[in-house]
A and B are shown apart, each in its own frame.
Chain A
Amino acid sequence: MNPLTWSFVEPFYKLISGEDRKGQMKKITQMLGLPMMGLLVFLLLWQGASSSINTSLGQFPGPVQTYQQFTNLVDEAQEEAVKEERFYERQEERNARKLEKNPEAEIKIRDYVGPPTFFDQIGRSLVTVMSGFILASLIAIPIGIVIGLNSNVYAAVNPLIQIFKPVSPLAWLPLVTMVVSAVYISDDPMFDKAFLNSMFTVLLCCLWPTIINTAAGVATVTQDLKNVSQVLNLSWMTHVRKIVLPCSIPMMFTGLRISLGIAWMVLIAAEMLAQNPGLGKFVWDEFQNGSSESLGRIMVAVIVIGIVGFVLDRGMLMVQKAVSWDKSVALR
């Protein structure tokens, strides 16, 4: 990838190479200066407001306390990593000694089961949200294409979609929980039940925007292109692959981005309720913990949730740009 094509590199590059210095400075101010100002004002307001709010767990955390808690969480994660390393080292030593005494001895490597760190929780949340999202997309895109292509199927399915779409996925959670524990019975479960509960809840909320927008995208295939397909006698599969899919990609991605946004929001709540490891559980545990540090830690989680959500959306945008044929459309 050519770094010069990144819009934020360009003005700096031009500034250094001495091309239209005034204009580049203005661009940089707009690109960096104004967002920085906004951030600064926000931090000041936050600091001001937090110092005047007192809760039963102490003062509401301001930017400084939040940052301290962030460094604490980083330290804890590092300590945990060291502990884990030692744990495996000790095991290896013990096993080595065992083998020395008796070369036939059976050797076991036990997994480390320390408490998950904050960063483990982020990873778990990402895995859960992406599994739910990808599974939902695999279901929703074909359904969207089929109902978009056939107005009869659309008429039959549309009322169901309209009714299920506004349901908060959290209303599904108890049902999902019961169904998972009734259906998913295994002595050696591959997945944790709590994971399945939150994953399916995410899945249920990801379906609808993708279905609706894919179907709407399929409807943008013009009669002209349908005629071309008919004259060429394209098979159904080729028609979908060569004409319907490229045509509906912009709308499909609108749906996917809405879905992923909702999924991330829902996931946090689902993790709180399902007690599935992840950021939601972290927030809940801290709340239950109720130490003087808790609010600061929750604040860290709030900010991290926001940043991860933002990064996920940007990621989808990049995928959309990569697969969409019409590069002239401004995607934001």
Chain B
Amino acid sequence: MSDVHLELTQVGIEFPTPKGPFRALRDVNLKINQGEFISLIGHSGCGKSTVLNIVAGLYEATEGGVLLDGKEVRTPGPERAVVFQNHSLLPWLSAYENVELAVDQVFKGSKTPAEKKEWIEHNLKLVHMDHAMHKRPDEISGGMKQRVGIARALSMQPEVMLMDEPFGALDALTRAHLQDSLMEIQKDLNNTVIMITHDVDEAVLLSDRIVMMTNGPAATIGEILHVDLPHPRDRLALADDPQYNHYRSEVLRFLYEKQRKVEH
């Protein structure tokens, strides 16, 4: 493939513990193209977040490495924006100011104050938060906080967007709304996205490829499933689609037959 955007090669990581090193990941190989939407799915504790954190630069791989457009990634940076699981908004800043912090940092000197303001408002509008942009996180609901978190990540104009279980803490209806919003945004922006999820439906609905991970320790990629459904996708129409249900059962089979989690 010629337009490989992000490449993980033989990535592995060990964490030092008092009982000796703990191997969390080994031999993770993945090539991601520009504009691809990738889901990482697996049982909890399988190292999904670790993969994401390595791509984000928050962890450093013990072996192997990550290339973004041919350049090695070692430290965190705004070109790999992260949407955190628990939104991680600064509680003392309004939605607008939270996005502003990112915009000020990324477009330091390249946008005038008026352009910055317009850009912040544009991104909040994308996630349908323009009506409450001067509210602080404790004044808005969980779903709205996550929307602001996404707006903050989008506002950095990232090369890759990393989403760490972005909708994990939300109720099913709010989650569906946010998934729809995300698909809508994705249609326009065509970002490269890596998303961690526990939710099989979410993975099939949103992704171009689903990366299924084996159980830890020493987790790695088990299978990769291409989801060949045309965009835009509609959750109601897909509910009865045999192809959709086939993908769904593939993932379920991997998770509950091949990688059955043994609870200790």
Contact = CB atoms under 8 A, between A and B. Distances in A.
Interface string B89-130: 011100000000110011000000000000000000000000
A233 B90 CA distance: 16
Interface stretch (A48-56, A222-230, A278-286): A222-230
B105 A234 contact: yes
The 4 A-B pairs at the shortest CB distance, nearest first, are namely: A325-B92, A224-B88, A230-B76, A246-B92
Residue of B78, B105, B136 with most chain A CB atoms under a 10 A cut-off: B105
Contacts of B56: 227, 231
A227 B84 contact: yes
A100 interface: no
Contacts of A231: 56, 58, 76-78, 80-82
A88 B144 CA distance: 69
A232 B90 contact: no
A224 B78 contact: no
Contacts of B80: 231
Contact size range, B: 20 to 34
Main SS of the interface on chain A? helix
A248 to B, nearest CB: 11
A311 to B, nearest CB: 28
B78 A246 contact: no
Chain A: interface size category: 10 to 19
A232 B84 CA distance: 13
A234 B104 CA distance: 10
B90 A243 contact: yes
Interface of B: 56-58, 75-78, 80-82, 84, 86, 88, 90-92, 101-102, 105-106, 136, 138, 156
12 contacts: A224-B86, A225-B88, A227-B58, A227-B76, A227-B84, A230-B76, A231-B80, A231-B82, A238-B105, A242-B101, A325-B136, A326-B138
Contact of A246 (B58, B75, B90): B90
A233 B57 CA distance: 11
Given A231-B77, A232-B105, 16 more contacts: A225-B90, A227-B56, A227-B88, A228-B82, A228-B84, A228-B88, A230-B57, A231-B76, A231-B78, A232-B102, A232-B156, A246-B90, A246-B92, A325-B91, A325-B136, A326-B91
A288 interface: no
A146 to B, nearest CB: 21
A326 B92 contact: yes
A239 to B, nearest CB: 11
A232 B57 CA distance: 12
Contacts of B88: 224-225, 227-228
A7 interface: no
A328 interface: yes
Given A227-B84, A228-B84, A328-B138, A233 B76 contact: yes
Contacts of A238: 105
A227 B59 CA distance: 11
Contact of B90 (A227, A230, A242, A328): A242
A232 B91 contact: no
A228 B76 CA distance: 10
Interface hub of A231, A242, A328 (most chain B Cβ within 10 A): A231
Nearest to A235: B105
